[in-house]
Amino acid sequence: MAKYSRGTVKDFSGFDARADAEALRKAMKGMGTDEETVLKILTSRSNAQRQEIAAAFKTLFGRDLVDDLKSELTGKFEKLMVSLMKPAQLFDAYELKHAIKGAGTNEKVLTEILASRTPAELRSIKQVYQEEYESDLEDKITGETSGFFQRMLVVLLQANRDPDGRIDAGLVEQDAQVLFKAGELKWGTDEEKFITILGTRSVSHLRKVFDKYMTISGFQIEETIDRETSGDLEKLLLAVVKCVRNVPAYFAECLFYSMKGAGTDDDTLIRIMVSRSEIDMLDIRRELRKNFAKSLYQMIQKDTSGDYRKALLLLCGGEDD
């Protein structure tokens, strides 16, 4: 697994799982809960360290730390703290499971996770899903989705994207032409071609294809997708293109819209802050500032409150210069 270095949450130096477990137990024991201690510990330890704290907690007190958090905390703050306790791939698997469970499917969650994760991460998510829920993620997704949207999700789930390597200029030209003929030049759209090329080619190859496509057609690939497709498929293809171009910029956009206007989409806010805090949160902050002239820190400050806000601001890691 690549060692990420652009996160705001890193291994805590001088880490002592036992001491943390004792502090958390004390914070949640008896009347009232000391939320400040809970949030300070959990937002400043890496996920791997949180797993060690949970193990120490079980050993010392014979109690499940997550169960205690659930019984002592409430609302969005509880959801955030419990989410921080899940190992990364288990958190993704959990979010996907809940996106396809019960009445109605949450296409937004499927799109965000499957478009943005690396092939290695996707393979790991599928494996964890199978172990945790004793069912096949692909079967579940195909059972709850349909059409070209379903096909693109399945292609992404295969996690067979070409590895980045030497760029073949001939294939770049060919792919750009195929996309042009499948979209702008065709009456109706040949969605299969978009799905195959966007779902299987390497990231570096696709970036070149997008440049070549612009030269050939005079349009950005996003403009064509916008015109030629609609609904969930359009959103998914656009998410894939955005992630090929720049993953942190994609998440910056998701965060911006989760807090823009009336009401906050807390599920998206929590999911991104938790899942990217150890990977590229510093880059996401920079992209948000660059593309929307907003500070993530200030947006969180304005849109949230209480212990939930305090914890999110700690995950955000401070204000940009």
Tens of pLDDT, residue by residue over 177-203, are 999 999 877 766 789 999 999 999 999
Cβ contacts of residue 187 below 8 Å, gap of 6+?
A: none
Sort residue 89 into left (φ over 0), alpha (ψ -120 to 50) or beta.
Answer: alpha
Asked whether 238 and 225 are in contact (CB, 8 A), the reply is yes
**DSSP secondary structure string for all residues of 53-115:** HHHHHHHHHS--HHHHHHHH--HHHHHHHHHHTS-HHHHHHHHHHHHSSSSS--HHHHHHHHH
pLDDT value at position 188? 60
Each residue of 212-266: pLDDT tens digit?
999 999 999 999 999 999 999 999 999 999 999 999 999 999 999 999 987 899 9
Domains and CATH numbers, the chain: 17-85 (1.10.220.10), 88-158 (1.10.220.10), 169-245 (1.10.220.10), 247-316 (1.10.220.10)
pLDDT value at position 189? 72
Going by pLDDT thresholds of 50, 70 and 90, the confidence category of residue 96 is: very high
| Residue 1 scores a pLDDT above 60 | no
Each residue of 102-153: pLDDT tens digit?
677 899 999 999 999 999 999 999 999 999 999 999 999 999 999 999 999 9
C-alpha distances out from residue 155 to 123, 276, 293, Å: 12, 24, 35
Going by pLDDT thresholds of 50, 70 and 90, the confidence category of residue 3 is: low
Residue 293, burial from CB neighbour count under 10 angstroms (0-12, 13-18, 19+): exposed
pLDDT value at position 119? 95
| Residue 65 scores a pLDDT above 70 | yes
Cα Rg of the chain (Å, integer): 21
**Structure-token pair, residue 297:** 């820190």
Rounded-to-integer distance, Cα 58 and Cα 17, Å: 11
Q: How far is CA 165 from the centre of its chain?
A: 25
Mean predicted confidence (pLDDT) in 23-52: 95
Task: Report the percentage of the chain scoring pLDDT > 90.
Answer: 89
